[in-house]
Amino acid sequence: MAYVIGLDVGGTKIEGVLARAAYHGSIPKVVRKVRLQTHPSSREKTIGNIVDAVAWLYSYGKENVNGFRLGGIGIGTSGFLRNGRMEMVPNIPALKGVQLRNVLQEQLREKGINSSLHVENDSICFVLAESMWGAARGFKSAIGVIVGTGIGGGLVLDGRVYRGRNGGAGHIGHVTIDPAGPRCGCGQFGHFESWCSGKHIVMRYIAAGGKMRGTGPAAIFAAAEAGRDAVAGRVMVETYEKFGIAIAGLINTFNPEVIVLGGGVSNLPPAFYKRIAAAAGKYAYPALFRGVKIIRNRLGDDAGVLGAASLALNG
């Protein structure tokens, strides 16, 4: 039985799994996990940690799995990949301009790892996994929205991944929601990401005079729900509204059956989903909004890495 390695390279961390390949629609069985840090401002350290994660999982398989055979490596990464070249990578700026697949393949070969290597946008990996094994299974048209350090999107339309003219489709985090809004990591203003990503929810809270420190979106949401922090309340009301505008735009443009949320912000309680759905309903065309599911992912933190592993399975 072949094994595959899947990596999810985000703005703060690198998650990796060694999984036993499964076929006929079954989910791969995770054998071992690894987590290393991303260094957004250091190309050498980030690439080094990606290579180290793969090498560690490969060594674990060789040493601990009887009859181990590596069938392939899949890597999902934030940013826009054009012909293998990293472009528009606001959350890992050190990787901009890197021919990531070529660089990684060369360094892995130096470590004696000669397996096939596939690199894809992390949001596409996410929506692939959720479509094959998770919350979007059984739906032909699904949109995955990852809301973490940044915001990314992946599209499965009529059963196929939609990449657009040159692979850039799905960068919904950089759709302008309100041009008078906060500055985005890409340099523009008022993007979905600069309003609603986990990092920017915290930044807006602090900028508005919030007193909690060392906090995250979950604490801000909880304080708003409990009514004990007026600043948190205002920030979350604004977040629901902007999130709803973005979701409505996706519904009006792509007419999906389901929108699946991933990333850290997706772990907020059901009340969060209720509020963003209510906001989306105000802005979406009623006939298109009716019946659309806006739901949490089913695969949790494994969605990205399993989607990356699926690249190795399906090539």
Q: What is the CATH number of the domain that holds 170?
A: 3.30.420.40
Shared-domain flag, residues 114 and 142: no
Shared-domain flag, residues 145 and 240: yes
Exposed / middle / buried, residue 285 (Cβ in 10 Å: 0-12, 13-18, 19+):
exposed
Shared-domain flag, residues 156 and 240: yes
Give which of 313, 314, 315, 302 is closest to 16, Cα–Cα: 302
Per-residue pLDDT, 135: 97
> For each of the chain's 315 residues, which pLDDT tens digit applies?
689 999 999 888 999 999 998 766 788 899 999 999 999 999 999 999 999 999 999 999 999 999 999 999 999 998 888 877 898 788 899 999 999 999 999 999 999 999 999 999 999 999 999 999 999 999 999 999 999 888 999 999 999 999 998 888 999 999 999 999 999 988 999 999 999 999 999 999 999 999 998 889 999 999 999 999 999 999 999 999 999 999 999 999 999 999 999 999 999 999 999 999 999 999 999 999 999 999 999 999 899 999 999 888 876
Task: Confirm whether 119 is domain-assigned.
Answer: yes
Task: Confirm whether 101 is domain-assigned.
Answer: yes
Task: Confirm whether 75 is domain-assigned.
Answer: yes
Sign of the C-alpha dihedral computed for residues 206, 208, 209 and 211 taken in this order: negative
Per-residue pLDDT, 253: 97
Per-residue pLDDT, 11: 84
Shared-domain flag, residues 212 and 108: no
Shared-domain flag, residues 73 and 89: yes
pTM of the model: 0.89
Shared-domain flag, residues 259 and 309: no
Three-state secondary-structure class, residue 276: helix
Range of the domain at 271: 138-297
Per-residue pLDDT, 24: 63
Task: Confirm whether 133 is domain-assigned.
Answer: no
Looking at the chain, list the stretches that DSSP marks H as alpha helix, in order from N- to C-terminal side. 43-64, 100-110, 122-133, 192-196, 198-207, 217-226, 230-254, 270-283, 286-289, 303-314
Per-residue pLDDT, 183: 95
Task: Confirm whether 132 is domain-assigned.
Answer: no
CA 98 to chain centre: 20
Task: Confirm whether 272 is domain-assigned.
Answer: yes
Shared-domain flag, residues 47 and 112: yes
Shared-domain flag, residues 40 and 91: yes
Instruction: Pull the structure tokens for residue 12.
Output: 């703060």
Per-residue pLDDT, 22: 75
Domains identified in the chain, total number = 2
Instruction: Pull the structure tokens for residue 291.
Output: 């019946």
Packing angle between helix 303-314 and helix 122-133, nearest 10 degrees? Answer: 90
Task: Confirm whether 199 is domain-assigned.
Answer: yes
Beta bridge partners of 263: none
Shared-domain flag, residues 26 and 56: yes
Shared-domain flag, residues 272 and 189: yes
Per-residue pLDDT, 85: 87
Per-residue pLDDT, 301: 84
Shared-domain flag, residues 287 and 197: yes
Task: Confirm whether 41 is domain-assigned.
Answer: yes
Per-residue pLDDT, 315: 60
Shared-domain flag, residues 287 and 308: no
